[in-house]
Structure 1
Amino acid sequence: METIHIYHTNDVHSHFENWPRIQQFLSQKNAMHQEEGEDVFLFDIGDFIDRWHPYTEATKGQGNITLLNECEFTAVTIGNNEGVNLPYENLNHLYDEAEFDVLVANLHKNKEEYPSWIKPYNIYHTKKGTRIGVIGLTAPFVQLYELLGWNLTEPLSELKKWLNSLKDDADVIILLSHLGLHEDEQIAVEFPDIDVILGAHTHHILEEGKQIGNTLLGAAGKYGYFVGHITLSLDEQKAIKSKSAILYDVKELPLVPNEQEQIDAYLKKGKELLNQKVTSLIKQMPNDPFQETELSLFLCKALREWCSADCAMINAGLLLGPLAGDVTDYDLLTICPHPINPCVVELTGKELFEILRESKDEGIHHKHIKGLGFRGTILGVFVYDRISFQGNTIFVDGSELNYEKTYTLALPDMFTFGHFFKEVLPYKQKKYFLPEFLRDILKWKLQRDL
């Protein structure tokens, strides 16, 4: 019998507070299995980087690649935080120093050509000659990738295209899937030749995996809270005789010597690199999630001006702190850590009225938000530029709202992903502005106007 060990992480999102224990654990397990003559493979399933963390922001993710190198990862696939939250050149050079493979079958430089740093799949050989075929797929945010200059193809079509080659070249087939649990379950049914699917994107936890037909699904949640471990046992004919999956809870792993010093060092290094002065303020610009402030209005105006829209609105909860004195890039990241882009929607006056009416609902202001790129906690009140209210009458740029007229509204892209203003926004065409985040727009206006 041959035993193969596969360790996997996903959706770490630059939560380096868990990384020292993960690194120590993987290093020890790797050494132990190698000593026993068993093969070990390490995979990350995407969203390892997240630009909320100063070290990631300052190095545009290349600092994260160093961490993966130190752990001797075998291969990774990319998530949307690598794919659509970095400008083209930053992603194109993110893996320049990588000592592992980057496997993404559905990301192309142009219609058909892969960038030099990507392979659709790769074949790995164990000491006993077993061929492990590994293919990667990432979530199909097609429009956003195109705006950045990439070509993203439909993942299941790519899987179907490459699977015959994989079946010919490999004894075991593994999919690194940054697609989400629902898609992984669908793939397990439609593509029974895949032996293992390592999942991500929806932050799901499969404590002992999930068996669907011939396929074992594994997933390790988010933020480095868990490390996954798949064990495969094969007979002399290279046929899989057993598969098992477990998760290790990272907080229960042994403490690392000088652990807190390591965690603090990532923050300190990032802060030093981002200590670049943007502007100096004569007086403080406060923030308050539950009322309009000079700072929230300033950001709202910046958004409208950047997008050349008729009007704009943002939620005050986007700003997590005030600005005062000398303002640095680190300060802007601290108060606006979200990977949220500007967006413009074209609306009739009646549609704009419906959105504004809903935005005034106090219930939504206290809503706790997770995901959608939001890195704060609470939505907060809405702040408007070139929109005003007098009793029951709404004015846009000083003129009464006309139900028949067409208006362009600038807003954070998080409101366009189907969770808010569901009666209107899901059905409207949106224009996204990439690669700039809201903090980049804030920096632009601070440097221009102050």
Structure 2
Amino acid sequence: MKEKIHIYHTNDLHSHFENWPKIQSFLAKRKVFHESKGEDVFIFDCGDFMDRWHPFTEGSMGKGNTALLNESQYTAITIGNNEGITLPFHDLDSLYQEANFDVVVANLYLPEYKRPDWVHPYVIYETKHGQKIGVTAVTTYYQKLYHLLGWELTEPFTELEIQLNRLKDETDMIIVLSHLGIHDDEKMAELFPQIDLIIGAHTHHFFHEGQKAHNTMMAAAGKYGRFIGYIEVDLIKKPVKILPRLFETASLPSEKDEQRFVQELENIGKKQLDETVTQLHNSLEYSWDKPSPLANLLCEAIHEWCNPDCTLINSGLILTSLQIGDVTKYDIHQMLPHPINPCTVELTGAELKEVLFHAEDEEWIDLGVIGLGFRGSVMGAFVHYGVVVDKKEQQVLIKGFPIDPEKTYTLGTTDMFTFGKFFPEIRRSEVKNYFMPEFLRDIMEWKLKRMND
């Protein structure tokens, strides 16, 4: 029995809602069109649909994003790292309480490796003609960070093999929703030829007409809703034809005022975050090209929170000033929208000295930074606390004493430097301690409240 099914997919929206009205309208129309012809339609999202940089997401802790997915009648979704490791345990555990779609994540567990009741390791969908579509999903293996938040995460390919063995004799087609990234997807296609279709995410890649890898078709739709993925599948027991393509969202007709829609979401988030946390008697300013009161205050706050030997951060983290008067959660969110956590790393004195001297270079100030949780634009000048650095004299003092090249020190900083390649010494450190679930804005709020106590 030959049967045609239609798959639509999104990924890595990251709460960039400017394209959402067009996406929502497009999906609704296409669903009605296909179903009027008696054909099945599946709509999937592959993770990072939410991102706490946006006040609508921050104010609702992602539940507003779930409501948007409900409105567009998604079939199933998986989670990305922005759902998985930027929300405190309770907020992720309750994120999909009102979901009208399936949440599929094969490698996410509660402590003692019990599955949350809102998570499916796989789902089998039966088409109108009785053929069975098996869908499983895996998310990025940030095992240590999930563990710190109270979750357990299993190795994706190990978990995938278990689920595929369950699906292989029960289904006519196997789909994997992957939030692993393009390189792992290619490896997945090589290791598991029984997979018919991988719909990918995480690395923001896209394929205009899909990409075949061994026996498996790969599809992906970039980031921020700039594309909507569409896959037409002809089924005859096993897929004989899988035809992916992308629709460019900008070329779709406007059904409503996108700017007004985005502003409405902004206003909802601003209202939810309209809670006064402190009052300022003097404004606090920021600068990216030199040390400033706000950057210095954040550095001091991280130092006090993490209790290292010294602390180093970049000024580009600060995006707005704070004015005299009431300071709200919204104000602090706008100043520090990044889903970034403070952390400490252990370094030898020689390594720490190299990092501190490198941070003095002026090349950092205008360096553009993308990803790693950073939601600003440039790195900015570095500021430090608890240490005196004299690059000209090649001298570093910690607690008034010259740095000992053989001694081990702890450096307070932000988690982005442990993931990125900016400072090899930090990235190579074998001892890294992440302070979670607090973001930098939570530490700044804590510091501002203490200043007024």
Give the secondary structure class of the aligned counterpart of 2:448: helix
Instruction: Show the 5 A alignment for 1:2-41.
Output: 2-41=3-42
Q: What root-mean-square deviation, in Å, do the aligned CA atoms of Structure 1 and Structure 2 show?
A: 1.1
Query: Are residues 1:377 and 2:387 paired?
Result: no
Partner of 2:327: 327
The Cα offsets for residues 35-79 of structure 1, whole Å up to 9 and x where unpaired, read as 011110000000000000001000000000000000010000000
The percent of aligned pairs where both chains have the same amino acid is 50
Deviation at 1:2, TM superposition (A): 1.0
Q: Render the CA deviation track for 1:135-187: whole Å, top value 9, x for unaligned.
A: 01000000000000100000000011111110121111000000000010111
Give the drift of 1:189: 1.2
Match of 1:429 in 2: 431
What SS is found at the alignment partner of 1:208? coil
SS across alignment from 1:280: strand
Q: Which residue of 2 aligns with 1:303?
A: 302
Give 1:423 deviation, angstroms: 4.1
Q: Mean alpha-carbon deviation: is it higher for 360-369 or for 224-233?
A: 360-369
Q: Which residue of 1 aligns with 2:341?
A: 341
Take 1:327 and 1:423, find their aligned partners in 2: how far apart are those partners?
A: 37
Q: Corresponding residue for 2:151?
A: 150
Q: Quick one: distance in 2 between partners of 1:257 and 1:138? A: 34
Match of 2:207 in 1: 206
SS of alignment partner, residue 345 of structure 1: strand
Amino acid at match of 2:346: E
How far apart, in 1, do the equivalents of 2:256 and 2:63 lie?
Answer: 25
User: Residue type of the partner of 2:335?
Assistant: I
Question: What CA distance in whole angstroms lies between the structure 2 residues aligned with 1:168 and 1:26?
Answer: 32
Assess if the C-alpha contact under 8 Å between 1:5 and 1:230 holds in 2: yes
Kindly report which structure 2 residues correspond to 1:173-192, keeping only aligned pairs within 5 A, or say none. Answer: 173-192=174-193
Aligned pair partner of 1:394 in 380, 393, 396 = 396
Aligned-partner SS, 1:309: coil
**Contact 2:173–2:196 under 8 Å retained in 1:** yes
Q: Which of structure 1's runs of 4+ aligned residues deviate more than 4 A?
A: none
Aligned partner letter, 1:430 = K
Residue of structure 2 in register with 1:248 after alignment = 247
Aligned residues of 1:321 and 1:334 also touching (Cα < 8 A)? yes
Residue matched to 1:272: 271
In the superposition, the TM-score normalised over structure 2's length comes to 0.97
Which residue in 1 is equivalent to 2:163? 162
CA contact (8 A) 1:418 1:426 kept: no
* Alignment partner of 1:351 is 2:351: yes
- Please give the per-residue CA displacement for 1:346-391, whole angstroms capped at 9, x wherever unaligned: 2221111011111112223321000000000100110011111344
The worse-fitting range, judged by mean Cα deviation, of 422-431 and 207-216 is 422-431
Shift of residue 284, structure 1, vs aligned partner: 1.1
Give the corresponding residue for 2:415.
413
Q: CA deviation at 1:402?
A: 2.1
**Number of residue equivalences:** 448
Assess if the C-alpha contact under 8 Å between 1:417 and 1:426 holds in 2: no
TM-score, scaled to structure 1: 0.98
Provide the residue aligned with 1:438 in structure 2: 440
CA distance, structure 1, for counterparts of residue 3 and residue 320 of structure 2: 55
Q: C-alpha separation between the residues in 2 aligned to 1:134 and 1:107?
A: 16
Q: Structure 1 counterpart of 2:355, which letter?
A: I
Q: How does 1:121-132 map to 2 (within 5 A)?
A: 121-132=122-133
State how far apart, in whole Å, the 2-side matches of 1:112 and 1:141 are.
Answer: 16
How far, CA to CA, are the matches of 2:362 and 2:222 in structure 1?
33
* Structure 1 CA distance for aligned equivalents of residues 399 and 35 of structure 2: 69
CA distance in 2, matches of 1:277, 1:110: 36
Deviation of 1:424 after TM superposition, in Å, equals: 4.8
CA contact (8 A) 2:418 2:426 kept: no
Amino acid at match of 1:241: V
For residues 297 and 262 of structure 2, the distance between their equivalents in structure 1, rounded to whole angstroms, comes to 34
